[in-house]
Structure 1
């Protein structure tokens, strides 16, 4: 049964110390083993509870710093740096390299450079870490200067440059460096990095050309191609690449499931999820985040609960992304009780978690609660973003909280956020629903962005509700301009105008609006309903039936 305190408690506990305490004699080996399995939190817990004094600690410091870099734990990394200085470990080339790598990956490039400059001894790994740090920070010029000054360059050095340029959007320079690498020096990583660079920058033709030239391929490059096609919306090509693989790893299945979800093919994502398990692969955190998103989009609460129970049963780590996915799934499916229970139990609540909860309460008619959560977010130190304000302004509009909505809208300036047309649309809707049509009209005229059909339609709809033809007359030119400048054939505004005039018994103008529709040879867009067919009450082995349109 989902929703009990026991399950929520399990959902919010990240890692139990009892689970990582083991009888291994060599605790440094335990740390090394945990990092090899990318269990960085376990490695840090082992270090914390087994730390000893003396020179024997030096051997694990680089490993612990690697865990800090992977988790972006800058404060702990600084503490280890201070401890290394006190013990004079920082003079060791391995410790120094691990320190500057940690600072570089945590975005502290100045601190990384200080470590680099004061190191009495450097090796090629040290130089590579410094080049990678500059590339990660976006300082490609300094990275290039370091590269040119290196007396020794390995294939890792070349890969860092290619990857850095590609990640910073300069695929031309990335290709130049790739072409400079001798054929016998290129390895599968070199090829994968440049293919991924093209795929990440949307040039799938160039990515495919190099992909087909590769002497051998790894799982990573297959996933790069699959994800690249999905990002372009080319689902067929993405599935074609996936089907070409003779052996598929979890990474490849994750790319397929995530791609389906991002393209709105959520039923296909759930089908792939089940097939992946049928082939003997166990899901991880990345898998369940995509599956929870698919459940949220389909609003299939029972399937989402099955996934939640599976997460607990299989011991999948409840990291920030998984917890956010659970909150989002429950909120979108209307199970606000469970959404709130998981949210309140989270140790770290980021903007995504707040947004999911606020939007969930707003979309399901609990507008006062949505606004209360927004106020809590505002005072918690987490910065609201564009999505936050859209959700809370929509809540204000539906609840009729006009003054609150206007005041909340004014706070966007406080967070240096520029209102988009969607935010103005919410404000127009807010004023229109309250019958403050003149203020809404003045707002549209004073907007720094051109009003679109949605904004104008919101006000026209309010005019219809309040039978106000005076505002309609003022907006008629705006509506015509919008329709003429748009490629869309949606002429709902003419229908609304005709209905407004008809309600006011101004038959001549109502008829004129109908003639305008006829002159444009337009047709009213037919409506449709989407109905989810009933399905048996079973476990994850049953998917929702395909939707039908009536």
Structure 2
């Protein structure tokens, strides 16, 4: 018996050593097979330190059934009273996803130590049960158990309230954990999410900072839209602190460069990433480089980075696709999308948003509907960004009713979707519906919403509605605080014909910029006050604002419609002196100005001598044609102008109408008939001009060439209203001629 007992004891020791050695080497199957061999030999294993190893092996292998069997045998033999066995079995159940068994084992433990509490709290937090994990952490603190570093880090990362974060920060300081870098960095991350003002203060108080500390603060600056401070801290990190950046740091810095559109710094960071080996090793860095180059308007470099990327993911494809769209290279964006299909890359909601921008540019209604089908089929209907982009694309393609259907189908109509719908309705000439959508909004409007509302109100030419929208801006605290809103208010009043109110509103803008000055100049131009437009233009320059291309277009338009030929030509000449290269619109405006003044030959000479990169458009030729209509001219110039206009815009009705007018002035009725036949053959939709008269709360619309279906009395009433409108002052009278 003694020899048999000694043999079993030596075999048990050998198998126990084998199990421990297999655990050290990470050979988990050998651990379980060694334990099974002990069981088959009928040897009573009395070493409690072996059981945690066996449970760990079962957890690593995800062998839940084997672990349960081992646990059952230990309970039968009374080993469950050991704290180490209870901890290891609870940890095993947690790692295998059997949380109920883990909690039951924890509850059954007669004695617990700090390891027990750490295991249960860590397990819950690590598996995404934040509320339960934080509750058990609070309970363990009441009972006096201390967390370990790993658990404390998870607790800090799981906090959602800044107040709870401050409490944990106080506990960290009292408990002496503040010297541990991982804990400090976790607190930094926590403040970056909920209290950005405390991030830099805590960072400055840290005695030792590693690359994670620097990266967290740089990222917080970028996330709160202070990229300049983020880049400044990055330079301090590299040059003064001599801390080597990692992939996360480089990704944050590249995002800052993208926001600032600073491609020069972005290239320097690209060079740094190449030297550090991040360029090819990390897909996040590659995607950030694509995004940075795209937003810096160097999409060719972005494509080179994409083309050299071997480990592409859907973000890579979306980044380059969005890059082509951002740089208005829509045909190449379509090619990239077709290439995605060949590579078997399935489009997601981000891809669809970029595609909708392409459809919006090309004004293609059927692709919009196809994308809408994909949105429904893939269940993206809860994605507000995708639906807002769909609304925007539909309205751009003149499918306003479809856009409204999308908005009405949304469960939650956020401020972005409503703002997009308001803008689309206003663009489509349906301002009353746009105002109705605003009135139905549940979210508080932001500055974009108010700007779109003002645009809609200006289209109605109803002064009361514009004043109401102005009141909305005041109540929201956006008037006199947001220059974009203030500028839109000025524009709305100008389009309602109340130039005095527009000027008063403009004078109340605390800090004016080139856009606000351009709007007031344009306001004077459209209200037939070219002299005041020129005075405002000079005043703008005296105050140190440099006019841009749009400003020059506004003042040239004022000179054009005011017949100020000499001043217009002088301002056009000053564009070259101020190093502002005129565009086609500027040349077209000068051509129109000369044509209106009867200088048809001079206008033609200007068209013939345009720079090589500027091609005369339909508007320039149309101006010449309009001048020929008003003044008798030999048939060579009108014929050339007609041919150019109809070739450039074959589906636009204005060219045909102008041509007909010219032929009619020459009494060339055969050519008039030819123009009418072309309109029918080409199915050109003739859009007639109209005027509106606002009488009380009723808007009367008079379409050119329309026959009024009204009785003589009703027609007389309208005529009397018009006469009364002409006698009353515009700013005070109940009638407004639009």
User: Which category describes the TM-score, using the shorter chain as reference length?
Assistant: 0.5 to 0.7
The residue number in structure 1 matching 2:212 is 251
Q: For residue 499 of structure 1, report the CA deviation from its aligned partner.
A: 2.9
Q: Which residue of 2 aligns with 1:495?
A: 454
| Corresponding position of 2:331 | 368
1:394 equivalenced with 2:357 (yes/no): yes
1:124-135 map, 5 Å: 127=89, 130-134=92-96
Structure 1 residue 359: Cα displacement: 1.8
Deviation at 1:454, TM superposition (A): 4.3
Is 2:439 aligned against 1:480? yes
* Offset, 1:360: 1.7
Q: What's the CA shift for 1:62?
A: 6.8
2:285 corresponds to 1:322: yes
Which residue in 1 is equivalent to 2:492? none
In the TM superposition, residue 115 of structure 1 has moved relative to its aligned partner by 5.8
Answer yes or no: is 1:526 the counterpart of 2:483.
Answer: yes
Corresponding residue number in structure 2 for 1:540: none
Aligned residue in 2 for 1:514: 466
Q: Does the CA-based 8 Å contact 1:494-1:513 persist in structure 2?
A: no
Match of 1:113 in 2: 64
1:358 touches 1:391 (CA, 8 Å); kept in 2?
A: yes
Q: Is the 8 A contact 1:100 1:129 kept in 2?
A: no
Q: 2:246 corresponds to which residue?
A: 284
The alpha carbon displacement at 1:378 in A equals: 5.7
Q: Structure 1 379/486 Cα, relative in aligned 2: closer, same or farther at 3 Å? A: same
Distance 1:133 1:140 in 2: 9
Q: Check the 8 A contact 1:199/1:207 in 2, yes or no.
A: no
Q: Does the CA-based 8 Å contact 2:395-2:424 persist in structure 1? A: yes
- CA–CA separation in structure 1 for the residues paired with 2:394 and 2:325: 18
Unaligned runs of at least 5 residues, structure 2:
1-17, 38-49, 75-83, 485-511, 516-544, 547-738
* Deviation of the 1:407 alpha carbon: 0.8
After TM superposition, the structure 1 = structure 2 runs for residues 76-87 of structure 1, keeping only pairs within 5 Å, are none
Structural mapping, 1:122-201, within 5 Å: 127=89, 130-134=92-96, 140-148=99-107, 155-166=114-125, 167-170=128-131, 171-179=133-141, 182-183=144-145, 186-198=147-159
| Corresponding residue number in structure 2 for 1:235 | 196
Larger radius of gyration: 2
CA deviations 1:366-396 (Å, max 9, x no partner) are 2333344345546656554433332332332
Q: CA separation in 1, counterparts of 2:431 and 2:54?
A: 71
Shift in alpha-carbon separation, 1:249–1:115, aligned structure 2, 3 A: farther
| Structure 1 match to 2:309 | 346
Q: Take 2:514 and 2:348, find their aligned partners in 1: how far apart are those partners? A: 31
- Cα contact 2:290–2:302 (8 A) shared by 1: yes
Compute the RMSD of aligned alpha carbons. 4.1
- Aligned to 2:376, the other structure's residue is in SS state coil
RCO higher in structure (CA 8 A, sep ≥6)? 1
Unaligned runs of 5+ in 1: 1-55, 66-79, 104-110, 503-509, 532-548
Write the deviation string for residues 236-257 of structure 1: whole angstroms up to 9, x where unpaired.
Answer: 2111111111122222222222
Following TM superposition, by how much is the alpha carbon of 1:363 offset from its aligned partner in structure 2, in angstroms?
1.7
The separation in 1 between residues aligned to 2:90 and 2:350, in whole angstroms, is 39
Does residue 262 (structure 1) correspond to residue 214 (structure 2)? The answer is no
Shift of 1:190: 4.8
Other structure's SS at 2:328 match: coil
Q: Following TM superposition, by how much is the alpha carbon of 1:206 offset from its aligned partner in structure 2, in angstroms?
A: 2.6
Question: Which of 273, 284, 287 is the matching residue for 2:234?
Answer: 273
User: Which residue pairs with 1:226 in the alignment?
Assistant: 188
Q: Distance in 2 between matches of 1:381 and 1:118?
A: 46
What is the CA–CA distance in structure 1 between the aligned matches of 2:416 and 2:106, rounded to whole Å? 52
Contact 1:202-1:228 within 8 A present in 2 as well: no
- Checking the alignment, whether the CA contact within 8 Å between 1:393 and 1:409 is kept in structure 2 is no
CA distance in structure 2 between the partners assigned to 1:447 and 1:362 by the alignment: 28
In structure 2, relative to structure 1, the CA distance for the partners of 1:439 and 1:271 (3 Å cut) is: same
